[in-house]
Amino acid sequence: MKRNSILIVSLLLIGITSSILAKPDPAQLKKVASGIIEALNTQDIEKRGRFLKEHYINADSASAVERWQGHLVRFSEELGEVIIHSIDVSNPAELNILIRAANPRTVSQWKNISVYMHNEKTDKFFSMGMRPGSDPSVVLPDRPLTTKEIAKYVGEFIDDMVGRDVFSGAVSLAKDGKPFFTGAYGKASLRWGIDNKLDTKFNLGSMNKMFTGVAICQLVSQGKLSFDDLIIKHLPDYANKEVANKVKVHHLLTHTSGMGSYWEALDNMDWTGLRSVKDFADLSINDPLAFEPGDRFSYSNSGPLVLGLIIEAISGMDYHDYIRKHVTGPAGMVNTDCYHADDVIPNLAQGYFWNGETNSFRSNTFAHPARGSAAGGGFSTVEDLQRFSKAIYDGTLLSPEMVEVYTTGKVEMGPGDKYGYLIGDSRRDGHRTVGHNGGAPGISADMIIFTDLGITVTAMSNYDFAASAIASYATRLITHERPLPN
């Protein structure tokens, strides 16, 4: 889905390094960190420009500086006035600034801003990221928490968000399939005042890419497909011959195809007629490859659509019928599907995004196509996602050997993060997690499976960003990672 991976937890990463800096000066590093905050707080374009010219590694590129001007403005709009609590320069490759944001609509008011420094020019940064930070007044036990304690702190975190009206949705935390925290909050419909419930259906965003990944792995297990097959083998009439003759199934599954996103084609068209996988796939059929397949990871919403076409070609079934029969059906996911926007679906949440100009919510009715696809936009519930988590590992959907193929990361996305076959594979403080998130205007959803702990976190919201903030907080409680956000 649009803006999926950059904004779910307000994280922007343009490049990552783990290099150790040569003879860094702590005072200089603190100056850079303070300068970042001053640049966020000022409305003076020239002042921001002077800071970037002095401390941004690519300051000689006018277009790069312009991009960073935009990044700083967007961060500033989200945070409001920023107050520094502390600056940590103990790792000179990654400066960490704990701040408190003044904007009450910020999902998490305590933020940790990471500034990634160049490994040779030690007074210059090349990237910046933002994630939930830690409230220094919150003191937790210096030991792993029990599930009861995790539930307590998660509940308090959510209550704060609900009190500021930045979360509406449902959450479920389960260990070995048994929930130890569940809750539903806010309204499925603000217009009619209908409450959210645990079985309320929320938009998945990009999360149902995972279902597409499972379907492809099933067909490979049956010998009907190979991960090394080129598109043209199964779609001989695919109109873009460059793509068909160069891109493999493996590339489509790992976002290494060089294909882009069909969203760019939606800006000036009527979305109400987009109903089938082919409808979506045709939007980007003539787009050239941005790079040679396999060269690098670049998140693509067009690639999974081609996988949907391949599933249809091999199975002889409509993509949505295949998923219902072979993925969500066997998993017992009775409230999961790509519903038509004009169908009357009981207990389905309307999405809302905040309009800063009017200081009010707006419905996302006209911000999304008429139906989800192989790339995202379906609906599910936190309970169904727990069922999907179980079905991945209990043999319902895939053999144990294919589960490893499906979930094992193939390409790097960032420190500790890899991407498998349309599912993420991460390391968090010594623990392995697999899962996916999704987000767009009025949509936020996340599923995190701790493979060694038997814990699954599912969170879904009909507000922007909120579910992933809760999933991130729960993750750090579960792993006992410090510092903990609040």
Average pLDDT over residues 417-425: 97
User: With bands split at pLDDT 50, 70 and 90, how would you rate the model's confidence at 344?
Assistant: very high
Domain termination residue (choose one: 132, 147, 167): 132
What's the pTM value of the predicted model, to 2 decimals? 0.82
Tell me: do 89 and 178 sit in the same domain.
Answer: no
84 bridge partner residues = 99
* Nearest by Cα to 301 from 348, 236, 349, 368: 368
Tell me: do 175 and 123 sit in the same domain.
Answer: no
Q: For 96-115, what is each residue's pLDDT tens digit? A: 999 999 988 888 888 889 89
Percentage of residues in the chain having pLDDT higher than 90: 65
In the predicted model, is pLDDT for residue 3 greater than 70? no
From 19-33, 120-134, 326-340, 370-384, the region with the lowest mean pLDDT: 19-33
Tell me: do 97 and 171 sit in the same domain.
Answer: no
Neighbours of 362 (CB within 10 A): 15
Average pLDDT, the chain: 88
For residue 101, the one-letter residue type is A
In the predicted model, is pLDDT for residue 22 greater than 60? no
Total domains, the chain: 2
Q: Is 266 helix (H, G, I), strand (E, B) or coil?
A: helix
For residues 479 and 429, the answer to whether their CB atoms sit within 8 Å is yes
Tell me: do 153 and 102 sit in the same domain.
Answer: no
From 63-67, 88-92, 209-213, 278-282, the region with the lowest mean pLDDT: 278-282
Residue 234 belongs to domain with CATH number = 3.40.710.10
* CA distances (Å), origin 273, targets 266, 276, 352: 12, 9, 22
Domain termination residue (choose one: 81, 97, 132): 132
Tell me: do 408 and 333 sit in the same domain.
Answer: yes
Task: Supply the pLDDT for residue 64.
Answer: 84
Distance (Å, whole) CA 258 – CA 437: 22
Average pLDDT over residues 400-409: 98
Q: What is the DSSP letter of 416?
A: T
Percentage of residues in the chain having pLDDT higher than 70: 90
Distance (Å, whole) CA 485 – CA 98: 10
User: With bands split at pLDDT 50, 70 and 90, how would you rate the model's confidence at 280?
Assistant: low
Distance (Å, whole) CA 314 – CA 251: 18
* Nearest by Cα to 409 from 426, 428, 384, 396: 426
What is the residue whose two structure tokens read 């409450």?
Answer: 195
Give me the domain span that covers residue 24: 4-132
Q: What is the DSSP letter of 292?
A: -
In the predicted model, is pLDDT for residue 12 greater than 50? no
Distance (Å, whole) CA 463 – CA 2: 15
Distance (Å, whole) CA 88 – CA 474: 24
Q: Is 5 helix (H, G, I), strand (E, B) or coil?
A: helix
Task: Supply the pLDDT for residue 63.
Answer: 85
Residues 6+ away with beta carbon under 8 Å from 231: 238, 243, 244, 245, 247, 248, 249, 252, 306, 310
Tell me: do 156 and 254 sit in the same domain.
Answer: yes
Q: For 285-303, what is each residue's pLDDT tens digit? A: 777 898 999 999 989 989 9
Tell me: do 114 and 214 sit in the same domain.
Answer: no
Tell me: do 83 and 171 sit in the same domain.
Answer: no
User: With bands split at pLDDT 50, 70 and 90, how would you rate the model's confidence at 484?
Assistant: very low
For residues 2 and 440, the answer to whether their CB atoms sit within 8 Å is yes
CB-hemisphere CA count at 13 Å for 63?
A: 0
For residues 171 and 181, the answer to whether their CB atoms sit within 8 Å is yes
Tell me: do 344 and 449 sit in the same domain.
Answer: yes
Q: Is 76 helix (H, G, I), strand (E, B) or coil?
A: helix
In the predicted model, is pLDDT for residue 485 greater than 60? no
Tell me: do 205 and 93 sit in the same domain.
Answer: no
What is the residue whose two structure tokens read 């990871």?
Answer: 297
For residues 375 and 206, the answer to whether their CB atoms sit within 8 Å is yes
What is the residue whose two structure tokens read 């309320």?
Answer: 200
Residue 77 belongs to domain with CATH number = 3.10.450.280
Average pLDDT over residues 25-36: 92
Domain termination residue (choose one: 132, 152, 176): 132
Q: For 145-186, what is each residue's pLDDT tens digit? A: 999 999 999 999 999 999 999 999 999 999 999 999 999 999
Tell me: do 435 and 316 sit in the same domain.
Answer: yes
Of the chain, the end-to-end C-alpha distance in Å amounts to 27
The residue ranges of DSSP E strands in 237-390, in sequence order, are 352-355, 360-363, 379-380
For residues 95 and 33, the answer to whether their CB atoms sit within 8 Å is yes
Give the dihedral sign, CA 414/417/419/420: positive
For residue 237, the one-letter residue type is D
In the predicted model, is pLDDT for residue 89 greater than 80? yes
Going by DSSP bridges, is the β-strand pair 455-461/443-450 parallel, antiparallel, or unpaired?
antiparallel
99 bridge partner residues = 84, 111
Tell me: do 78 and 226 sit in the same domain.
Answer: no
